[in-house]
Amino acid sequence: MRLLEVLAKHDVHATFFLIGRYVSQRPEIAREIVQAGHIVGNHTLTHPLLTLKSEAEIRRQLLACRAALHDAVGDHSNLFRPPFGGRRPAVLRIARELGLEPVMWNVTGYDWKAPSAEVIEKKVARQIRGGDVILLHDGGHKNLGADRSQTVIATDHLIARYKEEAYEFVTIPEMMSKPAVSSQPSAVR
Protein backbone atom coordinates (compact mmCIF):
# COMPACT_ATOMS: atom_id res chain seq x y z
CA MET A 1 0.00 0.00 0.00
CA ARG A 2 1.86 3.03 -1.19
CA LEU A 3 -0.31 5.49 0.74
CA LEU A 4 0.74 3.95 4.04
CA GLU A 5 4.36 4.22 2.91
CA VAL A 6 3.94 7.93 2.13
CA LEU A 7 2.31 8.58 5.50
CA ALA A 8 5.07 6.65 7.30
CA LYS A 9 7.78 8.54 5.37
CA HIS A 10 6.36 11.83 6.68
CA ASP A 11 5.50 10.43 10.14
CA VAL A 12 1.86 11.42 9.63
CA HIS A 13 -1.13 9.54 10.98
CA ALA A 14 -4.47 9.84 9.23
CA THR A 15 -8.09 8.87 9.72
CA PHE A 16 -9.48 6.32 7.26
CA PHE A 17 -13.24 5.92 6.85
CA LEU A 18 -13.70 2.36 5.60
CA ILE A 19 -16.54 0.72 3.71
CA GLY A 20 -17.63 -2.39 5.58
CA ARG A 21 -18.02 -4.74 2.62
CA TYR A 22 -14.42 -4.08 1.60
CA VAL A 23 -13.21 -4.53 5.17
CA SER A 24 -14.94 -7.94 5.16
CA GLN A 25 -13.35 -8.84 1.82
CA ARG A 26 -9.84 -7.66 2.77
CA PRO A 27 -9.58 -7.44 6.57
CA GLU A 28 -5.78 -7.50 6.36
CA ILE A 29 -5.85 -4.01 4.81
CA ALA A 30 -7.83 -2.63 7.75
CA ARG A 31 -5.43 -4.37 10.14
CA GLU A 32 -2.41 -2.91 8.34
CA ILE A 33 -3.91 0.59 8.59
CA VAL A 34 -4.47 0.23 12.33
CA GLN A 35 -1.09 -1.42 12.95
CA ALA A 36 0.55 1.58 11.27
CA GLY A 37 -1.06 3.84 13.90
CA HIS A 38 -3.91 5.26 11.87
CA ILE A 39 -7.53 5.64 12.96
CA VAL A 40 -10.36 3.82 11.21
CA GLY A 41 -13.98 4.92 11.17
CA ASN A 42 -17.36 3.83 9.83
CA HIS A 43 -18.24 4.67 6.22
CA THR A 44 -21.28 2.33 6.03
CA LEU A 45 -21.47 -1.19 4.68
CA THR A 46 -22.00 -0.43 0.97
CA HIS A 47 -21.61 3.37 0.56
CA PRO A 48 -25.24 4.31 -0.20
CA LEU A 49 -26.59 7.85 -0.26
CA LEU A 50 -28.17 7.72 3.20
CA THR A 51 -30.53 10.64 2.54
CA LEU A 52 -32.49 8.29 0.26
CA LYS A 53 -32.60 5.34 2.70
CA SER A 54 -35.13 4.34 5.34
CA GLU A 55 -34.24 4.64 8.99
CA ALA A 56 -34.02 0.84 9.22
CA GLU A 57 -31.57 0.74 6.30
CA ILE A 58 -29.45 3.56 7.75
CA ARG A 59 -29.20 1.63 11.02
CA ARG A 60 -28.36 -1.61 9.18
CA GLN A 61 -25.62 0.09 7.14
CA LEU A 62 -23.97 1.57 10.22
CA LEU A 63 -24.25 -1.57 12.36
CA ALA A 64 -22.96 -3.84 9.59
CA CYS A 65 -19.93 -1.63 9.00
CA ARG A 66 -19.27 -1.50 12.75
CA ALA A 67 -19.38 -5.31 12.86
CA ALA A 68 -17.02 -5.64 9.88
CA LEU A 69 -14.54 -3.24 11.47
CA HIS A 70 -14.78 -5.01 14.81
CA ASP A 71 -14.22 -8.41 13.18
CA ALA A 72 -11.16 -7.08 11.35
CA VAL A 73 -9.48 -4.85 13.93
CA GLY A 74 -11.34 -5.15 17.23
CA ASP A 75 -11.90 -1.87 19.02
CA HIS A 76 -11.90 1.16 16.74
CA SER A 77 -13.04 4.77 16.73
CA ASN A 78 -16.68 5.84 16.99
CA LEU A 79 -16.25 8.15 14.01
CA PHE A 80 -18.66 8.04 11.06
CA ARG A 81 -18.48 9.82 7.71
CA PRO A 82 -21.63 9.69 5.61
CA PRO A 83 -21.05 8.62 1.99
CA PHE A 84 -21.17 11.58 -0.40
CA GLY A 85 -21.60 13.77 2.69
CA GLY A 86 -25.29 12.84 2.51
CA ARG A 87 -27.04 13.50 5.78
CA ARG A 88 -30.37 14.58 7.08
CA PRO A 89 -31.63 14.81 10.66
CA ALA A 90 -32.56 11.10 10.76
CA VAL A 91 -29.07 10.04 9.60
CA LEU A 92 -27.40 12.12 12.28
CA ARG A 93 -29.87 11.04 14.98
CA ILE A 94 -29.42 7.33 14.22
CA ALA A 95 -25.64 7.67 14.09
CA ARG A 96 -25.63 9.37 17.50
CA GLU A 97 -28.07 6.79 18.93
CA LEU A 98 -25.50 4.16 17.91
CA GLY A 99 -22.75 6.10 19.67
CA LEU A 100 -21.19 7.33 16.43
CA GLU A 101 -19.71 10.79 15.99
CA PRO A 102 -20.44 12.18 12.52
CA VAL A 103 -17.44 13.79 10.82
CA MET A 104 -17.45 15.97 7.74
CA TRP A 105 -14.70 17.71 5.79
CA ASN A 106 -14.10 21.24 4.62
CA VAL A 107 -11.34 20.66 2.04
CA THR A 108 -11.49 18.18 -0.82
CA GLY A 109 -9.15 17.21 -3.60
CA TYR A 110 -12.07 16.09 -5.79
CA ASP A 111 -10.02 12.96 -6.45
CA TRP A 112 -12.75 10.34 -6.87
CA LYS A 113 -12.44 10.45 -10.68
CA ALA A 114 -8.62 10.11 -10.45
CA PRO A 115 -7.42 13.42 -11.91
CA SER A 116 -3.70 14.11 -12.05
CA ALA A 117 -1.73 14.69 -8.86
CA GLU A 118 -1.20 18.29 -9.95
CA VAL A 119 -4.95 18.90 -10.23
CA ILE A 120 -5.57 17.34 -6.81
CA GLU A 121 -2.81 19.45 -5.24
CA LYS A 122 -4.13 22.68 -6.75
CA LYS A 123 -7.68 21.99 -5.59
CA VAL A 124 -6.52 21.27 -2.02
CA ALA A 125 -4.11 24.22 -1.93
CA ARG A 126 -6.88 26.66 -2.90
CA GLN A 127 -8.90 25.60 0.14
CA ILE A 128 -6.31 25.19 2.95
CA ARG A 129 -6.68 27.71 5.75
CA GLY A 130 -5.58 25.74 8.82
CA GLY A 131 -7.75 23.65 11.12
CA ASP A 132 -8.97 21.77 8.06
CA VAL A 133 -10.28 18.26 7.52
CA ILE A 134 -9.08 17.15 4.08
CA LEU A 135 -11.05 14.59 2.09
CA LEU A 136 -8.97 12.34 -0.14
CA HIS A 137 -9.70 8.79 -1.25
CA ASP A 138 -7.56 5.68 -0.87
CA GLY A 139 -10.00 3.53 -2.84
CA GLY A 140 -13.27 3.61 -4.68
CA HIS A 141 -16.82 2.91 -3.55
CA LYS A 142 -17.86 0.87 -6.59
CA ASN A 143 -15.09 -1.76 -6.55
CA LEU A 144 -12.00 -2.76 -4.64
CA GLY A 145 -8.73 -1.80 -6.26
CA ALA A 146 -9.43 1.66 -7.68
CA ASP A 147 -6.27 3.33 -8.98
CA ARG A 148 -5.38 6.03 -6.48
CA SER A 149 -1.76 6.48 -7.57
CA GLN A 150 -2.33 10.18 -8.37
CA THR A 151 -3.87 10.79 -4.94
CA VAL A 152 -0.86 9.09 -3.33
CA ILE A 153 1.54 11.36 -5.26
CA ALA A 154 -0.54 14.43 -4.37
CA THR A 155 -0.62 13.40 -0.70
CA ASP A 156 3.17 13.08 -0.65
CA HIS A 157 3.59 16.56 -2.16
CA LEU A 158 0.93 18.19 0.01
CA ILE A 159 2.34 16.83 3.25
CA ALA A 160 5.86 17.95 2.33
CA ARG A 161 4.63 21.43 1.31
CA TYR A 162 2.51 22.07 4.37
CA LYS A 163 4.97 20.60 6.85
CA GLU A 164 7.52 23.04 5.42
CA GLU A 165 5.03 25.81 6.21
CA ALA A 166 4.81 24.51 9.82
CA TYR A 167 1.38 22.93 9.53
CA GLU A 168 0.73 19.93 11.75
CA PHE A 169 -1.05 16.82 10.49
CA VAL A 170 -3.20 14.98 13.04
CA THR A 171 -5.95 12.40 13.16
CA ILE A 172 -9.57 13.42 13.65
CA PRO A 173 -9.56 12.34 17.33
CA GLU A 174 -6.39 14.38 17.93
CA MET A 175 -7.93 17.36 16.18
CA MET A 176 -11.12 17.08 18.25
CA SER A 177 -9.16 17.12 21.50
CA LYS A 178 -7.24 20.26 20.61
CA PRO A 179 -8.50 23.69 21.67
CA ALA A 180 -10.68 25.45 19.12
CA VAL A 181 -8.38 28.46 19.12
CA SER A 182 -4.61 28.25 19.38
CA SER A 183 -1.65 30.45 18.63
CA GLN A 184 0.09 27.43 17.09
CA PRO A 185 -0.26 26.44 13.42
CA SER A 186 -3.49 24.54 12.88
CA ALA A 187 -3.95 20.92 11.89
CA VAL A 188 -4.72 20.28 8.25
CA ARG A 189 -5.78 16.69 8.50
Consecutive 10-residue runs of the chain (189 residues): their mean pLDDT?
A: 90 96 96 96 96 97 97 95 95 97 93 89 93 86 78 94 93 78 38
How far is it, in rounded angstroms, from Cα 189 to Cα 183? 18
The domains located in the chain, with CATH, are 2-177 (3.20.20.370)
Neighbours of 177 (CB within 10 A): 9
How far is it, in rounded angstroms, from Cα 24 to Cα 122? 35
pLDDT score at 178: 54
pLDDT score at 188: 41
